[in-house]
Structure 1
Amino acid sequence: MSIRLFALVLLLCLFLNSITTKAQTYSRNGMVVSTSSVASETGRDILKKGGNAIDAAVATAFALAVTHPSAGNIGGGGFLVYMDNEGTATTFDFREKAPLKATDDMFLDENGDVIENSNHFSAKAIGVPGTVAGLYKAHEKFGKLSWQEVVQPAVELASNGFTMNWSLYQSAQYFEGDKERYPQMQGFFSNENGDIVEPGDIWKQTALGNTLSLIRDKGSDGFYKGVVAKKIEAFMKANNGIITKKDLAKYVAIERKPVFGTYKDYQICSMAPPSSGGVTLISMMDMMEQVSFDTLEFNSTAYVHFLAEAMRRAYANRAKHLGDPDFNPDMPIDFLLDKQLAKEQVATIDMQKATKSDSSKFGQMPEGDNTTHLSVMDKDGNAVSLTYTLEYAYGSGMVDKELGFIFNNEMGDFNPKPGVTTTRGQIGTKPNLIEPEKRMLSSMTPVIVAKDGKPYLVIGSPGGRTIINTVFQTVLNVIEFDMEIDDAIEAMKIHHQWLPDRIMYEELLLSPDTREALKSMGHEMISRTRLGQLMGIIYEDGIFKGASDSSSGEGAAVGY
């Protein structure tokens, strides 16, 4: 085949279909990237039907509630960032809330100590779910297809089933092996005969299909009122939980203004509190803008050291200042996003040695790693970045068999003990103490980066407290180091969160020499196999380029 003929064939394929090379997928008419290929295909099919980015995001999110139950959910909450093709942006906050009966000492014993596992593995650990309300509100404002059309694919996936994969099968084996700790997860992955569904066989979730049918037919009222609400309240009473029908009826998702920043010629749009992600990421980008990359080589010892010091300062401010804005009206957001603050913080960085985190001031609450993210762009260039979670993998490990979905354990994201901060990461600062109807602070960081005023990069990740830093480094990789989206996602990443005072690094991607050099500067080093599980899209010159993190296993970027 001649070079010219080959080029013509390649262009024809690009126009008609997606082309995958390595982890990167190309398309012309839109793209969906999520941690489940089945869910991504669901969203892609909605785009093909004429749906827009919001329609596809909603359909993908509901599909993930079926195919990715460890984090995809209707029993949790999250955040959605939307930017249209002219650069106008808004966000939807559907973070879970503390129930009306919640108190700031609800997880303490008579001696004032935190009761072990009480804020993660009990019915009291369950926050009022927000996902259905958030997806409904976003669709009500921006959706093009009907609500019924975008929810129906998830109903069919649950009711008719989909092919059991090895990842889900391994989860089933895990829960089967720990019946004492997870009694309610027994039978969750089973067929009608009570046997765990084998890989390659069809897994049907009839109860979940029935719940999704009510949501399809009645909108958010199908979850927060009526049969589902009654069953949730009954489940809580039976398991010593405190969520009631009143909590569910009072829950509302909120449309909020995004937080904005700039990095050179790019505009960064992300989620405002109660997500801490946007503010913290932008403050770190502001610090990186002070750097001359002519003298700070990518992945060098000096580069990793500077990243860690920027993270240390940004996460310290996160812990001190951020929480639910409805309960903390005086948060100094403008101060934290001021580029002058970034200059002052950079001036305090010693390039020869590590700063020491002062645990007497404040620190970071640990967060569960098992969130999930999806990125969507439609043929018109409208973009959605959506991150939602149950907190831990499979949340609280508690499921109502008649409803078919798993409940979150997000109450563990509140500070459990007022006024007490430890070097291990527990904090007791006021902005994130438990109060009725308060939304717990989050690290979720859905981001859309605009170039020339239009959506250019859509990115996000799970990873609990590591989310902000993995997204931050990926954004930097794309817009500073001009990486393709797959390379930016797969590149080495580190994490520092103020407390514990240490650098977490990807073991196979950071050289032994660099590790030793960082140790000699005073950094404590701790390895991880991978950080984050990023899902991203770049849109440029009429071409969508998408990639799912190779660590996601079942993840896929799907376009057409």
Structure 2
Amino acid sequence: GMVSAADPRAAAAGVEILREGGSAADAAFATLLALNVVEPQSSGIGGGGYLVYADKGAAPVTFDGRETAPHAATGTWFYKNGQPMEFDDAQPGGKSVGVPGNVRMMALAHQRFGKLPWAALFQPAIRLARDGFKITPRLHNSLSKYPATGALSFEARAIFYQADGQPKPAGTLVRNPAFANFLEQLAARGPDSFYVGPNAQAIAAAVSNAPHNPAPMTSGDVASYEAKPRPPVCGKYRVYRICGMGPSSSGGFTVFAALKQLERFDLSALGPQSPTAWHLIAESERLAYADRDKYLADEDFVRVPLAGLMDPAYLAGRSALISPTATMGSVHAGTPAGAEIVCTPEPQPERGTSHFIAVDRWGDVASETSTIESSFGSGLMVNGYYLNNELTDFSFRPEKNGCPVANRVEGGKRPRSSMSPTIVYGPEGQVVLAVGAAGGSTIPAQVIKAIVGVLDFRLSAQDAIALPMIYSPADTVYVESGTFLEGMIPQLKALGHSGVRTLPAATFKANAIEWANGRWSGGADPRSEGAALSE
């Protein structure tokens, strides 16, 4: 078995569970809980996520643990004085908090695929929280960018900040006894204790009485949350089968669409040093993101024309718009079969998240992405964990020029997500790659690049993740600063990409595990503090 995660201490927690005879599901959940302790700015039980799970190489099962809006939420939830709020004003405090979904999702998958007792999965995280963990440079950097006054809960400030308001230095041993105590209770009492009783009441009270943006959330909102199995989104790319997460995630479609639109081009012959190859990837991303922005939303509330979007004939038509020698003009969403009249909203910023993968000795594979959205989520802390700010992933405007926006706010609805946990199957039906990433709306682009790197450029998963990033969600192409892609900017401009900008490496964070040469091999993003550890 093996675990790849964004922090070696979290990967070690998952490996510990594997050694005790746990399944990939068990190890993934132990990793999630440990990440909540050591990487609190990115993920945890105060947020939500998605899990793509392959049981011994079988067809995948996907679980939706995305957060939901309180039932009181309406389309103008993020309005102030009759106008949509600015993101930076909407993000902190109560209004941005969705009902957390990770614990229900954990319980649902553990019930089906777990081998160890529920309580066993909590022990590594409990030790980390009680005995202490050192602040890493990445966590310290997040704390430095997030002033102590922004961590709205006093208990959060006490853990991570000094009396003068400055973050504690990197290397400082810190403890989170409140979280350790809560994890012990959750381990002993089971998942329902998160959603009913004192914890649910504490979540509702923190949101309703927040010092900034208080919003009506009830303990009934928390109690009524459901994690859901969903149909996976799968399609054939060359000789491989790509499987990911369906709505409310946009990741499964966006990743597959971009790959399928690239299928007619010989990327292997071009290779990773070719400006044409990166131009083609950027152009395909532009098309996929345009469809994503217009059509993808929570399918429980909006009719998503997913079959039409995934149809190979539709994607072939979209691919025909791509030229290897010139750039498309402004890109617009297509009209797939089954599309209803909805309007494309202005995109919202997305910033946080963590991805991790576990494989076990029986061949089960768990590819899971977990998030609380922005760094430290809403800034509100309950029982030692941060509450998310996922509701800012909704479109703030419910309509555009009188036309409904698919991803508008509605009570009980899940905001659209970019999370893209993915499993790739080889021609014989075996799992050959599990991959995912963190980094908001760049997530699908990171996964696309990693899959192209492995399947087309014939790189190891580690080397594919380490490839520089290109991200092209609209008419601007972003390339990773300080890499050979920055050196290709003149060639990209010669192909017609007038708006080429750079993004810092810290934006990106991916993890992968692949089956190669008869064994599992892990990859962790060199831009992060991640690690891949064997059982």
The normalised TM-score by structure 1 is: 0.88
1:203 aligns with 2:193: no
Give the Cα–Cα distance (whole angstroms) in 2 for the partners of residues 428 and 488 of structure 1. Answer: 41
Q: Is the 8 A contact 1:463 1:533 kept in 2?
A: yes
- Choose 1 or 2 for highest CA Rg: 1
Give the Cα–Cα distance (whole angstroms) in 1 for the partners of residues 174 and 237 of structure 2. Answer: 46
* Among candidates 364, 382, 389, match of residue 382 of structure 1: 364
Alignment-derived partner of residue 415 in structure 1: 395
Displacement after TM superposition at 1:209 (Å): 1.1
Displacement after TM superposition at 1:393 (Å): 1.0
Give the Cα–Cα distance (whole angstroms) in 2 for the partners of residues 232 and 300 of structure 1. Answer: 51
Give the Cα–Cα distance (whole angstroms) in 2 for the partners of residues 73 and 60 of structure 1. Answer: 10
Give a deviation string over 1:459-511, Cα, whole Å, max 9, x none.
1000110100110110111111211111111012200112xx20010122235
Where do residues 353-368 of structure 1 align in structure 2 (5 Å cutoff)?
A: 353-357=326-330, 362=344, 365-368=347-350
Indicate how the Cα distance of structure 1 residues 49 and 113 shifts in structure 2: closer, same or farther if over 3 A, else same: closer
* Among candidates 462, 470, 484, match of residue 494 of structure 1: 470
The normalised TM-score by structure 2 is: 0.91
**Which deviates more from structure 2 when the two are superposed, residues 509-518 or residues 57-66?**
509-518
Indicate how the Cα distance of structure 1 residues 295 and 535 shifts in structure 2: closer, same or farther if over 3 A, else same: closer
Displacement after TM superposition at 1:284 (Å): 1.3
Indicate how the Cα distance of structure 1 residues 487 and 31 shifts in structure 2: closer, same or farther if over 3 A, else same: same
* Among candidates 144, 148, 168, match of residue 115 of structure 2: 144
Give a deviation string over 1:343-395, Cα, whole Å, max 9, x none.
21121224333223368973552332211000111112110000011111111
Alignment-derived partner of residue 528 in structure 1: 503
* Among candidates 300, 303, 314, match of residue 341 of structure 1: 314
* Among candidates 270, 273, 279, match of residue 305 of structure 1: 279
Displacement after TM superposition at 1:534 (Å): 1.0
Alignment-derived partner of residue 399 in structure 1: 381
Give the Cα–Cα distance (whole angstroms) in 2 for the partners of residues 244 and 261 of structure 1. Answer: 40
Indicate how the Cα distance of structure 1 residues 44 and 339 shifts in structure 2: closer, same or farther if over 3 A, else same: same
The CA RMSD measured in Å over matched residues stands at 2.3
SS of the residue corresponding to residue 384 of structure 1 reads strand
Q: Which amino acid aligns with 1:496?
A: S
Give the Cα–Cα distance (whole angstroms) in 2 for the partners of residues 428 and 534 of structure 1. Answer: 36
Alignment-derived partner of residue 297 in structure 2: 323
Indicate how the Cα distance of structure 1 residues 204 and 280 shifts in structure 2: closer, same or farther if over 3 A, else same: same
Indicate how the Cα distance of structure 1 residues 458 and 193 shifts in structure 2: closer, same or farther if over 3 A, else same: same
Alignment-derived partner of residue 254 in structure 2: 280
Alignment-derived partner of residue 5 in structure 1: none
Displacement after TM superposition at 1:55 (Å): 0.6
Give the Cα–Cα distance (whole angstroms) in 2 for the partners of residues 71 and 536 of structure 1. Answer: 18
Q: Which runs of 5+ in 2 are unaligned?
A: 334-342
Indicate how the Cα distance of structure 1 residues 511 and 137 shifts in structure 2: closer, same or farther if over 3 A, else same: closer
1:551 aligns with 2:527: yes
1:218 aligns with 2:192: no
Give the Cα–Cα distance (whole angstroms) in 2 for the partners of residues 336 and 448 of structure 1. Answer: 20
Q: Which amino acid aligns with 1:484?
A: S
Alignment-derived partner of residue 101 in structure 1: 72
Displacement after TM superposition at 1:518 (Å): 1.8
Give the Cα–Cα distance (whole angstroms) in 2 for the partners of residues 272 and 64 of structure 1. Answer: 25
Q: Which amino acid aligns with 1:252?
A: E
Give the Cα–Cα distance (whole angstroms) in 2 for the partners of residues 275 and 295 of structure 1. Answer: 33
Give a deviation string over 1:433-483, Cα, whole Å, max 9, x none.
000000000010000111121211011000110100110110111111211
Indicate how the Cα distance of structure 1 residues 227 and 293 shifts in structure 2: closer, same or farther if over 3 A, else same: closer
Q: Is the 8 A contact 2:48 2:65 kept in 1?
A: yes
Alignment-derived partner of residue 338 in structure 2: none
Give a deviation string over 1:24-56, Cα, whole Å, max 9, x none.
xxxxxx100101111100100110111110110
Alignment-derived partner of residue 27 in structure 1: none
Report the identity percentage: 33
SS of the residue corresponding to residue 385 of structure 2 reads coil
Q: Which runs of 5+ in 1 are unaligned?
A: 1-29, 422-426
Give the Cα–Cα distance (whole angstroms) in 1 for the partners of residues 268 and 355 of structure 2. Answer: 34
Give the Cα–Cα distance (whole angstroms) in 1 for the partners of residues 30 and 150 of structure 2. Answer: 33
SS of the residue corresponding to residue 381 of structure 2 reads coil
1:189 aligns with 2:127: no
Displacement after TM superposition at 1:222 (Å): 1.9
Q: Is the 8 A contact 1:84 1:455 kept in 2?
A: no
Give the Cα–Cα distance (whole angstroms) in 1 for the partners of residues 480 and 90 of structure 2. Answer: 29
Indicate how the Cα distance of structure 1 residues 468 and 391 shifts in structure 2: closer, same or farther if over 3 A, else same: same
1:481 aligns with 2:457: yes
Give the Cα–Cα distance (whole angstroms) in 1 for the partners of residues 417 and 403 of structure 2. Answer: 15
Displacement after TM superposition at 1:334 (Å): 1.3
**Which deviates more from structure 2 when the two are superposed, residues 336-345 or residues 442-451?**
336-345
**Which deviates more from structure 2 when the two are superposed, residues 188-197 or residues 536-545?**
188-197
| Count of residues in Structure 1 that have an aligned counterpart in Structure 2 | 518
Q: Is the 8 A contact 2:248 2:414 kept in 1?
A: yes
Displacement after TM superposition at 1:211 (Å): 1.6
| Structure 1 outlier segments of 4+, above 6 Å | 191-196
Q: Is the 8 A contact 2:268 2:456 kept in 1?
A: no
Alignment-derived partner of residue 85 in structure 2: 114
SS of the residue corresponding to residue 83 of structure 2 reads coil
Indicate how the Cα distance of structure 1 residues 199 and 358 shifts in structure 2: closer, same or farther if over 3 A, else same: closer
Q: Is the 8 A contact 2:327 2:496 kept in 1?
A: yes
